[in-house]
Amino acid sequence: MRQPPILDVRFFVTEAGTEPVHDWLRTLSASDRKVIGEDVKTVQFGWPLGMPLVDHLGSDIWEVRSKLERRIARTLFATEGSTMILLHGFIKKQQKTPKPDLDLAKDRLKLLRRRT
């Protein structure tokens, strides 16, 4: 019998009704989407996890660290109860997570919490 997931996974939805992480994933190749999806699924079924797959970026923001064929992707998320909310995704181009990407995830989390 299969173990149920520890976390449900949801995409952050903007006030306009879009799902930015879902939209970002659609811009990637099928093989890149598969790697990121498998990594998110590993977190979903194995939470809590740490390095090298998951890193805590401060406050309530975490990142899934995906190694793609020739680049690195990050999917920033937060947990609300037993739900993993995918806030922001990007291809990493420098060592440190860029402040604008982290700030965007924090802003989306604030918006999400204001709505609930």
pLDDT tens figures, 19-40: 999 999 999 999 999 999 999 9
Beta strand extents in 30-71 (DSSP E only): 54-58, 61-67
Q: 0.85 cut: is pTM over it?
A: yes
Residue 115: inside a domain: no
Is the residue at 50 inside a domain? yes
Pairing, β 83-92 against β 8-11 = parallel
Confidence of residue 48 (pLDDT cuts 50, 70, 90): very high
For residue 92, the domain's CATH number is 3.30.2310.20
d(CA 89, CA 55): 14
Q: For residue range 64-86, what is the model confidence (pLDDT) as tens digits?
A: 999 999 999 999 999 999 999 99
The answer to whether position 3 is within a domain reads no
Please report whether residue 2 resides in a domain.
Answer: no
Beta strands 83-92; 61-67: pairing state: unpaired
Q: How many domains does the chain have?
A: 1
Report pLDDT for 8.
Answer: 97
Q: Answer yes or no: is 116 within a domain.
A: no
What's residue 1's pLDDT? Answer: 66
By C-alpha distance, which of 47, 62, 59 is closest to 5? 47
Domain range enclosing 90: 8-109
24 is a domain residue = yes
Whether 52 is in a domain gets the answer: yes
